[in-house]
Amino acid sequence: MQAELEVLKRAFARRTEKMGKMPKIARPPRTPAEIAERRTEQALLRAEHIVTEEKTEPVPETLKKCHLCGGTNFRSVGTGKPSEVYSYVPGYFRRVVHTREVVACRCGGCVITYPSCQPRRDSVEQAA
């Protein structure tokens, strides 16, 4: 009887200890499917509080100079390179998708992408 009680006590202690250590996440997902499911779930939860803004960054004319032929006759290539910047505004998350234009020289030897995106919060705030 006493031994049984001890076992129960220990089991209970172990359980509360476990719960204390892991307050929210029951256990880490193990399989890729579980991880994907979890990500989707979290993405959906977040999406409810996310405002998306899309901004296109055209390559400035001053950068459109081919280093091979010296030409300035560039054409747009594809849909550009998107990159996302998340910021938290009280109450919701804001996702800004910057799409950097990609241009190619007519000679085919030179491709220019809008200079790599740094989070330029200032300009984003002003534009908003």
Residues that bind Zn ion (CB under 5 A): 66, 68-69, 71, 105, 107, 110
SS3 119: coil
Rg (CA), the chain: 26
- The minimum distance between CB 68 and Zn ion, in angstroms, equals 5
Q: How far is CA 127 from CA 99, 101, 123, in A?
A: 16, 19, 6
Which residue, 24, 23, 47, is CA-closest to 95?
Answer: 47
User: Is the Cβ of residue 82 or residue 109 nearer to Zn ion in the bound state?
Assistant: 109
Q: Among residues 60 and 108, whose Cβ is nearest to Zn ion?
A: 108
User: What is the smallest separation between the CB atom of 26 and Zn ion, expressed in angstroms?
Assistant: 58
For residue 114 the two structure tokens come to 């809008």
Task: Judge whether 88 and 119 are in contact, CB under 8 Å.
Answer: no
Query: In angstroms, what is the minimal distance from the CB of 111 to Zn ion?
Result: 10
Instruction: Between 104 and 124, name the residue whose CB sits nearer to Zn ion.
Output: 104
- Hey, what amino acid is at 119? P
Cβ nearer to Zn ion, comparing 30 with 75: 75
Residue 91: CB minimum distance to Zn ion, A? 49
